[in-house]
């Protein structure tokens, strides 16, 4: 059983090559407005998005996000932000003080913005646009905050390049459903088999050719699948300064 929406979702793939054609501002507004209809905790809508369309500013953003050329190429870059600042201003208007210095508040805002940006992504793809998430927006978070003039209690969670794809995106296989779907209780039965199957599927795509992650003590190997790639990535400490920048923005972890 399927429908057009499920097919659209199943055909998702990251786009890293874009045409020069601009994305009309009204279309950007349309997909963002659709994203606003995503679920949100208690209707608090703890998110904001900054649309970056100027070539010079996109170039600056690309430089802060690993110098990835597709960010310069895409006509629109969206900076998705967890945002508790609007609620703080609303609280002040009502003579109250928002309690924001708890981990739960940051988690709520991070989940809210994640739902918002993924719903927007689906809306964009339904109109023929392509997108690519940019986690590298957190490489130099303070510089991004300064560039976008983000106030206290606003933090960039992810970036997103948006534009017209030069070609249809490549759809990567995902883990077998039974590796992620558990019934009633969490189970690891059959997990090794699922991971082996997924390694084979990812090796067959050739996606990791020339893209092996280098970790001290590890060398280039011939059979390099998802488990090798992913465990190499997660064995390194990345973006270790995030906690300090989060605290500076008012997102403490009490």
Residues 6+ apart with CB under 8 A from 252: 101, 102, 246
Tokens of 99: 């309690």
In angstroms, the CA 131 to CA 11 distance is 12
Residues 6+ apart with CB under 8 A from 75: 18, 20, 21, 22, 23, 53, 162, 163
**Which pLDDT tens digit goes with each residue over 179-207?**
999 999 999 999 999 999 999 999 999 99
pLDDT > 70: percent of the chain: 99
- DSSP assigned state of 249: T
Going along the chain, which residue ranges are E strands? 47-52, 76-83, 130-134, 154-163
In angstroms, the CA 7 to CA 244 distance is 42
Phi, psi of 52, rounded to the nearest 5 degrees? -110, 115
Q: What is the mean pLDDT of residues 61-86?
A: 97
Q: What is the pLDDT of residue 217?
A: 67
**Which pLDDT tens digit goes with each residue over 135-153?**
999 999 999 999 999 999 9
Q: Which of 235, 68, 47 is nearest to 135 (CA)?
A: 68
Q: What is the mean pLDDT of residues 65-88?
A: 97
> How is the chain split into domains, by residue range?
4-170, 177-234
127 CA to centre of own chain: 20
CATH number of the 4-170 domain: 3.40.109.10
Average pLDDT across the chain, whole number:
94
């Amino acid at each position: 059983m399927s429908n057009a929406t499920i097919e659209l979702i199943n055909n998702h793939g990251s786009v890293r090559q874009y045409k020069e054609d601009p994305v009309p501002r009204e279309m950007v507004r349309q997909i963002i407005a659709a994203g606003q209809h995503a679920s949100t905790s208690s209707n608090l809508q703890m998110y904001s998005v900054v649309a970056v369309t100027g070539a010079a500013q996109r170039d600056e953003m690309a430089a802060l996000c690993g110098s990835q050329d597709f960010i310069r190429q895409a006509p629109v870059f969206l900076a998705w932000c967890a945002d508790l600042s609007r609620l703080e201003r609303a609280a002040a208007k009502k003579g109250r003080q928002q309690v924001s210095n708890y981990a739960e508040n940051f988690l709520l805002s991070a989940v809210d913005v994640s739902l918002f940006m993924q719903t927007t992504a689906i809306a964009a793809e339904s109109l023929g646009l392509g997108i690519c998430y940019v986690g590298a927006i957190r490489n130099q978070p303070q510089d991004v905050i300064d560039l976008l003039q983000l106030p206290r209690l606003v933090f960039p969670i992810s970036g997103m390049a948006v534009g017209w794809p030069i070609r249809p995106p490549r759809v990567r296989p995902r883990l077998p459903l039974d590796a992620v779907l558990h019934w009633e209780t969490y189970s690891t039965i059959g997990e090794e088999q699922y991971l082996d199957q997924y390694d084979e599927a990812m090796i067959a795509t050739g996606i990791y050719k020339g893209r092996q992650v280098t970790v001290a003590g590890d060398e280039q190997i011939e059979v390099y699948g998802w488990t090798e790639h992913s465990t190499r990535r997660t064995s390194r400490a990345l973006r270790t300064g995030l906690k300090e920048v989060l605290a500076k923005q008012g997102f403490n972890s009490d």
